[in-house]
Structure 1
Amino acid sequence: MTKAQMFTRRRLLTGGAALLGAAGTVGTAALLIGDGGPAPAPARPAATAAGPGAHKPLESSAYRLRPIAGYGSRRRRRTLVRAAVRREPFLKLGGRGRKMVLTFDDGPDPRFTPDILDILRDHDVRAMFFVCGEMAVQHKDLLRRMAHDGHVVGNHTWSHPLLTTLSRSRIHTEMARTSEIIEKVHGEPPLWFRAPYGVWNRAAFRFGAELDMEPLGWTLDTLDWRTPGAGAIAERVEKGAGPGVVVLSHDAGGDRSQSVRALRRYLPALLDSGYHVTVPLRTYA
């Protein structure tokens, strides 16, 4: 590689990457993202004889330039700043602008995840999916579609256990197996981890760092797991919206039809209110 090529690559990585940081208390933990707007997303595939649910692989797009988005080959991934052993998860976005993150846990589930992916694509929005390994291994096609659509896939353990009830070796197995299946199917190892039920312990933080993942919690729980009704879920998101908010929803673990209907309502409302629904980036050296 010539000096000119190295200089150009360094400028791209520096300009597109975002620094992560955490405050001293859980209530103020935050992560930062780049301020640039989204690049054009891939066009929706044309309908085929297979029906409206059929999807062909999307062409690569500027949005999914892997070095900028924090993804890439193993060789490129070594340039990432390794995850620190943290004491708390990130809870919200930092930086300027009306930015929010939508996250979906426990999937993928063929009953609900495809509809959520359709809605996100309709509005040209990227989200985070914290998948469970036992679900991902059964529905690899949905994991691949998440990758094609440019979403961030995170680790949510293999079987969704309460980590504080497990031995250290079992915690490591739950996390490592899930990272392995994500890398095998998605094409890249996960860079983010979320503890089931939002219950963390020292082992989870340590093993997360060893697996090169950052911990992410949430700012706003939609309480969709209580199935309060699509209207109640949407209203909770709309009232709780604000700069830096990370929204927790689910695409599996029960009947999530209310979550789907709520997303169809509150996502356009957020965008019409001027929010940029985005995903966090990881830092490069």
Structure 2
Amino acid sequence: MLPFATAAGLTDTEFRHIAKLLHEHTGIRLGPGKETLVTARLDKRVRQLGLSGYAEYVDLIDDRHDEAELHQMINLLTTNETFFFREPRHFEFLAQVLVPARPVGRAFRMWSAASSTGEEAYTAAMVLAERMPPPSWEIVGSDISSRVVEVAGRALYPIEAAGKIPPELLRKYCLRGREEYEGLFTIGRELRGRVEFHCLNLMGDVRKLGRFDVIFLRNVMIYFDVDTKRDLVSRLQNMLHPDGHLIIGSSESLNSISGGLRMVEPSIYRLAGAHV
């Protein structure tokens, strides 16, 4: 077979099988109508492997025949759009409400729980660095995709991505690339030192990360069914300090699944009452 031959089209059976595997391993549910997304994300990979089509690809990843390829499929299907200072109201809340109310005697901890290529975590780092000295805060970023976690750790971005960063913060916390890094910029070493990234499946045991004052989980649960959302929210609230906050995407809601969380304003929830 030619490695760059056109892959045979995705059938309904193959789509359902790929969707089933993705749901089992990540909690993400791909319903009817997502066939185009699957082919857009996977077609190049199928051709790179020299396969004739998706039937062979399903055989490759089915029944754990190829764990590495299954992980590669998850990488390709779970990458979400992100950019610096996306949904700015959340970062205003972080600066204007959470930082002034921060606890005394311990570091303020934030978890970017679907950090993708790192823009959310580094945006929060700029916000916190403007208001607190570095030893008093830390950020953890995590994503199920090892590929985007590697990008986040490198902290190298196209210069066009800097357009959303306020000019004063761009000058203070970012560095323009030169020579082989022409056309790129990076986050300064001081901020990078306060942010750590992990490849992590939210459906697994995440307790090792510890507890947090705020968790950002934005634009992720739109892909989950109600039972998966309820289970995830229950586990996340157990990782919040008393009066900690969970921030979700502006288009999302925790209606009927909020558990011990109470809405402060749309998309922003606080853990109510004492928490042990």
Q: Which has the larger radius of gyration?
A: 2
- The structure with the greater share of residues assigned to strand is 2
Question: Greater relative contact order (Cα 8 A, min sep 6): structure 1 or 2?
Answer: 1
Q: Give the TM-score of the pair, scaled to structure 1.
A: 0.29
Q: Give the TM-score of the pair, scaled to structure 2.
A: 0.30
